[in-house]
Amino acid sequence: MNQESIINYTIHLADNALIMGHRNSEWCGHGPILEQDIALSNISLDLIGQARNYYQYAATVIGNNTTEDSLAYLRDAGDFKNCLLVEQPNGDWAQTILKQFFFSVYQYYLYQQLQYNNDDQLKAIAIKSLKEVTYHVRWSSEWVIRLGDGTEESKTRLLKALDELWMFTGELFEPASYELNMNVDFDLLKEEWTKKIQSVFEEATIAMPAKNNWHQSGGKKGKHSEHLGYILAEMQFVQRAYPNSAW
């Protein structure tokens, strides 16, 4: 693994976690019931904590006074390497749940591989994060089943969310150039992810979408939807309005 690949891959993992965590944080105070509001807020904190660990590692490798803050707050949308899935709008509760479910299952099986990675720091972060992601998978799975096998209204909303989000899942398993040397088996990752998704969908009485080789992609290479620009405008406002501010 060369240094450039490590930097780009670590930033990619951090960007995924940060943007997903920020999206979830938008639900704080707006959840359907207090318990689930708190649960999703905690998941958001878990993801932002993961992002911090990855950014700190990337900053150490980059040097030149780079910090986790400069990586999170001083890059433009074209510099971000997150998958398109995580930047999609929250929509209703069903869309938020399904997006979290798709992403959590992906993280779970990815971290299962990264815990045996040759890079000691990536390995350590993966091992620590697996404990959190295991809960994320369980929580989101239970909600997918609850919505899919619930009322006619909840099932309709889940199916609409599936129509909105499925096109973004293929990019998860389409490796960018910096991922090719990171000892990740993407074929195995896709196989395990698909098997888990199908298992939960069966319990939720939801049919898996037909296999289709077409999907939206580009996020890993810095080509994003318009949604990321709005996320960064909100998230980075204070740092850009008041440069070098510190608590």
- 1 has a pLDDT exceeding 70: no
Q: Model's pTM, two decimal places?
A: 0.94
Instruction: Give the model's confidence band at 107: pLDDT under 50 very low, under 70 low, under 90 confident, else very high.
Output: very high
Amino acid at 15: D
Amino acid at 218: G
pLDDT at 81: 98
Q: What is the pLDDT of residues 121-162, one digit of tens each?
A: 999 999 999 999 999 999 999 999 999 999 999 999 999 999
Q: Is 209 left (phi over 0), alpha (psi -120 to 50) or beta?
A: beta
pLDDT at 96: 97
Spatial CA neighbour of 88 closest among 191, 11, 178, 165? 165
Q: Kindly report the CATH class assigned to 3-241.
A: mainly alpha
Q: What is the pLDDT of residues 181-208, one digit of tens each?
A: 899 999 999 999 999 999 999 999 999 9
Q: Tokens standing for 99? A: 């997006």
pLDDT at 34: 62
Domains of the chain: which residue ranges?
A: 3-241
Q: What are phi and psi of 103, to 5 degrees?
A: -70, -40
Please state which of the ranges 4-13, 93-102, 105-114, 230-239 shows the lowest mean pLDDT.
230-239
Average pLDDT of the segment spanning 208-235: 91
- 75 has a pLDDT exceeding 80: yes
The Cα 106–Cα 129 span in angstroms is 13
pLDDT at 247: 56
Instruction: Give the model's confidence band at 33: pLDDT under 50 very low, under 70 low, under 90 confident, else very high.
Output: low
Percent share of the chain, pLDDT over 70: 96
119 within 8 A of 6, measured Cβ to Cβ? yes
